[in-house]
Amino acid sequence: MLQHGKDAAPPPPTRRRFLTGMAGAAGALAAPAALTGCGSAGSGGGELVFWNFYGPQHGPDPAANRQSEWFTKLVADWNARERVKVRLQYLPTSAYLNGSKVPTAFATGAGPDIFLCSPGDFLRYYNGGVLEELTPYLDKGVVEDYGSTLTSRMVGDKVYALPMENEPLAMFYDVGAWEKAGLSEGDIPGTWDQLLDVGDKLRRRGRAGLVFETQPGYFQNFTWYPWMWQGGGDVLDREGAPAFDSRATRQALQLWQDAVRHGIAPRTNPAAGDLVAGFRSGQAALWQNGIWQVAGFKAAAPKYRYGVFKLPVPAGGKYVTALGGWSFCANARGRDPEAAARFCAWALGSMREDCVARMTEWCTVAKSDVAPRTSALELGARKGGYDAAAMRAFKDEIFPGGRAEPRYPPVVYKAISDAVQGSMLAGRSVSSQAERAAESIAAYTKSYQGASLI
């Protein structure tokens, strides 16, 4: 039973908050034609602007402070050695990912020179001509060092974004609630039926027995994909043809619907989606979430007793989890795309020891992630970054069954989101929701023009 200690203050902002709001900006970059501007705001005088949401922190949140300091040092190290300087420009999380500020900036030619991008946004930026190719600036061996982590950020054999982290999903459970329910390590569920049974035993008045993400958006889709994949289902097949309406899709939709219908899972996120606060306040006992929560517990509740385990699988299914994570990108329409690309490659795409150490620091000190490069993952292991029980479980048990978050454009994402919401919360027939989404996806793919969706 993997567990950690006991109680403290609220945790830092979660990845759920970063990703949930991205749907609001979907329309602004849905079509390649929307991105027609040139130039970059605030980049005069040979200065490159780097937009990100890891803002300056001087408050009581040590995790956020460490992440901000990592970015500050990164830019300071670059500026000490290069003629073209980089300036960090922090946007509040809500401004960066919720609403139209970032996509509108690109559409009007005022986008940043360097920015952070998730897989869910990759195609809208690539198809819009925003992404500068990074391949020419990478050290020999870097692509191999990244391995399959890089695939969703490539078009053909060309790299357009460099991941800074891998973030696998797992089940988190409150050890105290687990024990009070009379459960032991032998009760860790391995199947969906066992998961629902355990969730039913954990629920109490005012406490959810099991939490699946309820807020529609890229993040909810991200957390739902593994349940579909485990049954052998997919949104598109290996040739890129629509494949959403399948037995695996329907049973994954049914799982989430059943959990809500039987009162095991809530209709809204407990504690406003804050897992640590939800556990501490007794509002939840079992929650699907990601590795970044390890840093949340370490910073906000270092003694709280919690555990993690792999996502259970359906009868006859195979274990799979989803891997998220952010990447550095250079604006092909910025003031100096070549310098921006060189910065990204220097920061995350060099074989130098300081570059590998920088990624290791981000994934094991500033945050809690699985390093996306083999060299950084091995260095992190040697330095004890994965010695703690939860981090060791993520690295050795949970991550190996990971699959990268898909890079579906907004129309495809929205069709899937509607199916999940319609089944889970509206109680509609899973068959009708799967069919409707499949029709929408098929209609879109017929006229889609751009890089491969898979």
150/60 Cα distance (integer angstroms)? 35
Q: What is the mean pLDDT of residues 328-339?
A: 97
Domain boundary among 391, 417, 433: 391
Least confident of 13-22, 89-98, 196-205, 278-287: 13-22
* Domain identity same for 225 and 267: yes
What is the token pair recorded at 220?
């909810």
Show the CA angle centred on residue 265, arms to residues 420 and 64, nearest 5°.
85
* Domain identity same for 160 and 277: no
Residue with tokens 């590998």: 356
Residue 45 lies in a domain: yes
* Domain identity same for 246 and 136: no
Which pTM was predicted? 0.89
* Domain identity same for 329 and 271: no
Give the pairing of strands 321-324 and 402-404: parallel
Distances (CA, A) of 21 to 93, 94, 97, 118, 218: 9, 7, 6, 13, 8
Cβ distance 166 to 287 under 8 Å? no
CATH code at position 78: 3.40.190.10
Q: What is the mean pLDDT of residues 143-163?
A: 96
Q: What is the mean pLDDT of residues 184-192?
A: 97
Q: What per-residue string of b and e applies to 322-346 under the rule 16 or more CB within 10 Å gives b?
A: bbbbbbbbbbbbbbbbebbbbbbbb
- Ordered DSSP codes for 22-85: GGGGGGGGSSGGG----S-TT-TTTEEEEEES-----SS-HHHHHHHHHHHHHHHHHHTT-SSE
Mean residue pLDDT across the chain: 89
Residue 274 lies in a domain: yes
The string of pLDDT tens digits covering residues 261-288 is 999 999 999 999 999 999 999 999 999 9
394 three-class SS: helix
Show the CA angle centred on residue 105, arms to residues 104 and 110, nearest 5°.
150
Q: What is the pLDDT of residue 2?
A: 41
What is the token pair recorded at 433?
């929701």
Which residues, in sequence order, are CB contacts of 239 under 8 Å at separation 6+?
Answer: none
Which residues, in sequence order, are CB contacts of 223 under 8 Å at separation 6+?
Answer: 169, 212, 213, 288, 289, 322
* Domain identity same for 154 and 253: no
* Domain identity same for 303 and 430: yes
- The C-alpha torsion from 108 through 113 and 117 to 120, rounded to 10°, is 30
331/340 Cα distance (integer angstroms)? 7
Q: What is the mean pLDDT of residues 195-208?
A: 98
* Domain identity same for 184 and 312: yes
- Ordered DSSP codes for 236-253: B-TTS-B--SSHHHHHHH
Q: Is the pLDDT of residue 47 over 90?
A: yes
Q: Is the pLDDT of residue 305 over 60?
A: yes
Q: What is the mean pLDDT of residues 397-401?
A: 96
Q: Is the pLDDT of residue 187 over 70?
A: yes
Domain boundary among 391, 418, 434: 391
Residue 396 lies in a domain: no
Residue 182 lies in a domain: yes
Least confident of 20-34, 49-63, 386-400, 418-432: 20-34
Least confident of 62-66, 109-113, 196-200, 253-257: 62-66
Percent of the chain with pLDDT over 70: 89
Q: Is the pLDDT of residue 337 over 50?
A: yes
Q: Please give the backbone phi and psi of residue 337, each rounded to the nearest 5 degrees, phi first.
A: -55, -35
Q: What is the pLDDT of residue 58?
A: 55
Q: Is the pLDDT of residue 41 over 70?
A: no
Domain that holds residue 58: 31-166+325-391
Q: What is the pLDDT of residue 16?
A: 42
What is the token pair recorded at 304?
């709280």
Q: What is the pLDDT of residue 28?
A: 39
Question: Alpha helices of 231-309 — where are they, by DSSP H?
Answer: 247-261, 275-280, 292-300
Q: What is the pLDDT of residue 18?
A: 34
Q: What per-residue string of b and e applies to 186-216 under the rule 16 or more CB within 10 Å gives b?
A: eebbeebeebbebbebbbeeebbbbbbbbbb
DSSP β-bridge partners for residue 155: 158
* Domain identity same for 223 and 339: no
* Domain identity same for 315 and 426: yes
* Domain identity same for 293 and 339: no
Q: Higher confidence at residue 410 or residue 227?
A: 227
* Domain identity same for 416 and 332: no
Least confident of 107-111, 300-304, 419-423: 107-111
Query: How many folded domains does the chain comprise?
Result: 2
The string of pLDDT tens digits covering residues 160-180 is 999 999 999 999 999 999 999
408/346 Cα distance (integer angstroms)? 28
Q: What is the mean pLDDT of residues 66-76?
A: 94
401/230 Cα distance (integer angstroms)? 10
Distances (CA, A) of 192 to 161, 214, 255: 36, 19, 8
Helix-helix angle 410-424:218-230, to 10 degrees: 70
- The C-alpha torsion from 225 through 227 and 231 to 237, rounded to 10°, is 0
Q: Is the pLDDT of residue 63 over 90?
A: no
Q: What is the mean pLDDT of residues 289-302?
A: 95
What is the token pair recorded at 282?
């007794």
Q: What is the pLDDT of residue 62?
A: 75
* Domain identity same for 299 and 386: no
Q: What is the pLDDT of residue 60?
A: 64
Residue 440 lies in a domain: yes
Q: What is the mean pLDDT of residues 386-390?
A: 97
